[in-house]
């Protein structure tokens, strides 16, 4: 550090001691401790609040699921009783012909047993209604229907129970759901079917008997989303239908129950729980306003939030007290460290206080002792980095940057000493063919071997062998004339050839060879005019390059001497 810089630094320290600026360590630690402890309290309280909220939410969903399952069980029971009544009657009919007065009595019996059916009829084996009884329309006003070629007939012919979608009754013009069971003879032959028209008003009547809270709704839908029964009659009469995507979502989940938040028919945000009745392909649904469903959860969250904030405040106060207690010895240590900074690193720090303060004092003392060693290590590391920046990573020779520096350095030395300076530019013959044939890894090994040979032959400490680029190398020979440079180049060529590094694709020989271009400059004598330009370092490189070009043109594996003077 320069004297001016050191004086500026000392002045800054002195000013800071006289007129300190910014927050004190005590304040910073107090704020930090209070903030961290408060944050911990807030985070942990927030997590606890969220967990409580989720727990209350799950409780609300389970409660709603129980009600939905109750609704589903009620509907399933009603449907099972109705179908059981129809099947019992079909067994009664199978002994006689499907027709006659006793059949009408049987249908009247079905209507009496199950009030949900508004019409009951018997089909013969051809699908034609042969007997029909209605709770609403007189016999003379009834319309007898042929069910052949209908989905109902296709199902009952297979011996299965049919449960259709919402349709309009031809007799009452009211929305109904058709239910049918097959009639079979003693030996199992198909003899016809019993068809009942289930009134949607009856489903409403069944659902309206459920004990529902204010704003709660229970209803049943088919797989198309059509509302079959609703706890509110007005919703049944409206003929409402669920959104297609919501319906698909409900019937895609066949688990015990599913819960979701959605918007109902009246654009209210509700918590909807559904249970699919697989045997009928219906779904029972119970919905409740979201605000009511999550009210216990919201209350729990508010209570938890209040407890959390109080805990955070108490934690902040404790943090401030702890921070003040910790900063007292730290402040003393800071003052002592400032005195050391004003004097020298050999000043002794106090070794009393808590174990942490004593450790910190020892660390300060060790820091001063290690500073000189660190500076020395940094200097050595810098020198090593500089050496590596001037070295070729593959061959270990000097790189192009080092060559440029050294050539300029030796050129100026030759000018001052009025001595010769020679340059050898060399190139491995047909190295691209070597790489293509043996591969780039083998090419790298070849470059390493050639580099080692060149370094061994050029033995003077003042000579520099460098990798010029790719398969080209260069050698700087200070205080060497043209003959000496040519001799060294020939020694290099001979050494590379003698190594007999295999090169099967070479057009020169069956081993690796090199071509050499030699140029010598004498930066002394007449330095005026063009002569001075010709003897510049770049001209020396150009002359060696021209000589190398001639060596390649004359068959390679040879030495050609050029002239830079």
Q: How many CA atoms lie within 13 A of 478 on its CB side?
A: 19
β-bridge mates for residue 178, sequence order: 197
- Chain-centroid distance, C-alpha 433: 47
* Nearest CA among 237, 238, 241, 234 for reference residue 220: 241
- State how far the Cα of 420 lies from the Cα of 422, in Å rounded to an integer: 7
- State how far the Cα of 151 lies from the Cα of 178, in Å rounded to an integer: 11
Report CA dihedral (304, 305, 307, 309) to the nearest 10 degrees.
160
Residue 547: per-residue pLDDT: 94
Contact predicate 176/200, CB 8 Å = yes
Please give the full DSSP string across 404-451, using - where no structure is assigned: HHHHHHHHHHHHHHT--EEEEEEEETTHHHHHHHH-HHHHHHHHHHHH
| Residue whose entry in the numeric block shows the structure tokens 């199992």 | 188
DSSP β-ladder status, 162-168 and 559-561: unpaired
The DSSP H or E segment spanning 237 is helix 233-237
Within 10 angstroms of residue 65's Cβ, the number of other Cβ atoms is 18
Within 10 angstroms of residue 309's Cβ, the number of other Cβ atoms is 14
Residue 262: per-residue pLDDT: 82
Q: What is the pLDDT along the chain (565 residues), one digit of tens a residue?
A: 444 444 444 444 343 444 455 566 566 666 776 677 667 766 776 787 777 777 777 777 787 777 777 777 877 888 888 888 888 877 777 655 455 567 777 788 888 777 778 888 888 888 888 888 888 877 677 888 888 888 889 998 888 888 888 778 888 777 788 899 898 877 778 888 889 888 877 777 767 766 677 778 888 888 888 887 777 766 666 667 787 888 888 888 766 778 878 887 777 888 888 888 877 788 888 888 887 777 776 777 677 778 777 776 776 677 667 666 666 666 666 666 666 555 555 556 666 666 766 677 777 667 655 655 665 677 677 777 777 788 888 999 999 999 999 999 999 999 998 999 999 999 999 999 999 999 999 999 999 999 999 999 997 889 999 999 899 999 999 999 999 999 999 999 999 999 999 999 999 999 999 999 999 998 764 444 444 434 478 899 999 999 999 999 999 999 999 876 6
Residue 78: per-residue pLDDT: 80
Sign of torsion over alpha carbons 300, 306, 312, 314 = negative
The DSSP H or E segment spanning 320 is helix 295-342
Helix 482-498 crosses helix 440-457 at what angle (to 10 degrees)?
A: 130
**Total number of residues shown for the chain:** 565
Contact predicate 397/391, CB 8 Å = yes
Instruction: For 169-295, list the strands marked E by DSSP.
Output: 175-184, 190-199, 217-222, 227-230, 258-263, 269-277, 282-289
- State how far the Cα of 433 lies from the Cα of 436, in Å rounded to an integer: 5
The DSSP H or E segment spanning 474 is strand 472-478
Cα→Cα distances 367→6, 328, 336, 353, Å: 20, 23, 15, 20
Active site annotation includes 81: no
Residue 476: φ, ψ to 5°: -100, 125
Give the active site residue among 471, 472, 490, 504: 471
Helix 400-417 crosses helix 537-553 at what angle (to 10 degrees)?
A: 120
* Nearest CA among 147, 135, 136, 156 for reference residue 86: 156
Classify 236 in phi/psi space as left (phi over 0), alpha (psi -120 to 50) or beta: alpha
Report CA dihedral (541, 543, 549, 552) to the nearest 10 degrees.
-90
Within 10 angstroms of residue 202's Cβ, the number of other Cβ atoms is 19
* Nearest CA among 119, 110, 112 for reference residue 138: 119
* CB burial readout 515-551, b (16+ within 10 A) else e: bbbbbbbbbeeeeeeeeeeebebebbbbbbbbbbbeb
Longest CA pairwise span in the chain (Å): 146
For the entire predicted model, the pTM comes to 0.42
- State how far the Cα of 452 lies from the Cα of 496, in Å rounded to an integer: 10
Tokens of 35: 């903030």
Cα→Cα distances 188→84, 89, 121, 184, 217, Å: 18, 16, 21, 5, 45
* Nearest CA among 177, 165, 225, 226 for reference residue 201: 177
Contact predicate 265/273, CB 8 Å = no
* CB burial readout 446-464, b (16+ within 10 A) else e: bbeebbebbeebbeeeebb
């Amino acid at each position: 550090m320069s004297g001016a810089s050191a004086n500026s630094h000392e002045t800054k320290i002195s000013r800071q001691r006289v007129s300190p600026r910014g927050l004190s360590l005590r304040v910073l630690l107090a704020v930090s401790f209070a903030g961290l402890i408060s944050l911990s309290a807030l985070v942990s309280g927030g997590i606890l609040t969220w967990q409580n909220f989720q727990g209350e939410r799950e409780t609300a969903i389970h409660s709603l699921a129980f009600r939905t399952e109750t609704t589903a069980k009620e509907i399933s029971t009603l449907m099972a009783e109705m179908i059981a009544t129809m099947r019992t009657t079909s067994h009664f009919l199978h002994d006689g012909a499907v027709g006659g007065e006793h059949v009408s009595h049987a249908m009247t019996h079905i209507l009496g047993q199950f009030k949900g059916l508004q019409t009951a009829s018997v089909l013969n084996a051809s699908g034609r209604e042969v007997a029909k009884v209605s709770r609403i329309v007189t016999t003379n006003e009834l319309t007898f229907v042929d069910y052949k070629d209908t989905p109902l007939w296709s199902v009952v012919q297979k011996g299965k129970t049919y449960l259709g979608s919402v349709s309009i009754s031809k007799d009452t013009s009211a929305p109904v759901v058709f239910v049918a069971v097959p009639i079979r003879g003693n030996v199992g032959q198909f003899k016809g079917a019993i068809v009942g028209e289930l009134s949607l008003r009856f489903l409403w009547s069944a659902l309206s008997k459920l004990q529902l809270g204010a704003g709660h709704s229970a209803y049943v839908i088919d797989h198309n989303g059509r509302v079959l029964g609703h706890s509110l009659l007005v919703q049944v009469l409206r003929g409402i239908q669920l959104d297609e995507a919501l319906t698909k979502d409900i019937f895609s989940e066949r688990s015990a129950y599913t819960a979701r938040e959605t918007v109902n028919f009246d654009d209210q945000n509700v918590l909807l729980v559904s249970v699919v009745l697989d045997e009928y392909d219906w779904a029972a649904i119970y919905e409740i306003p979201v605000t009511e469903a999550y009210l216990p959860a919201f209350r729990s969250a508010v209570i938890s939030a209040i407890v959390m904030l109080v805990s955070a405040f108490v934690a902040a106060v404790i943090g401030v007290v702890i921070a003040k207690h910790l900063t007292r010895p730290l402040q003393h240590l800071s003052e002592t460290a400032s005195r050391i900074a004003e004097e020298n690193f050999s000043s002794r720090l106090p070794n009393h206080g808590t174990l942490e303060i004593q450790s910190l004092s020892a660390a300060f003392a060790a820091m001063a002792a290690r500073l000189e060693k660190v500076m020395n290590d940094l200097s050595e590391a810098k020198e090593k980095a500089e050496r590596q920046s001037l070295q070729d990573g593959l061959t270990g020779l000097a790189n192009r940057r080092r060559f440029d520096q050294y050539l300029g350095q030796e050129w100026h030395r030759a000018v001052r000493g009025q001595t010769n300076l020679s340059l050898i530019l060399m190139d491995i013959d047909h190295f691209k063919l070597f790489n293509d044939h043996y591969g780039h890894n083998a090419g790298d090994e070849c470059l390493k071997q050639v580099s080692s040979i060149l370094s061994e032959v050029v033995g003077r400490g003042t000579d520099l062998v460098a990798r010029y680029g790719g398969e080209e190398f260069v050698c700087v020979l200070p205080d060497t004339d043209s003959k000496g440079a040519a001799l060294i180049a020939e020694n290099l060529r001979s050494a590379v050839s003698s190594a007999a590094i295999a090169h099967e694709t070479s057009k020169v020989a069956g081993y690796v060879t090199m071509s050499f271009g030699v140029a010598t400059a004498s930066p002394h004598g007449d330095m005026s005019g063009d002569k001075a330009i010709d003897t510049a370092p770049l001209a020396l490189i150009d002359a060696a390059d021209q000589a190398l070009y001639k060596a390649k043109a004359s068959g390679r594996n040879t030495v050609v001497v050029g002239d830079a003077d």
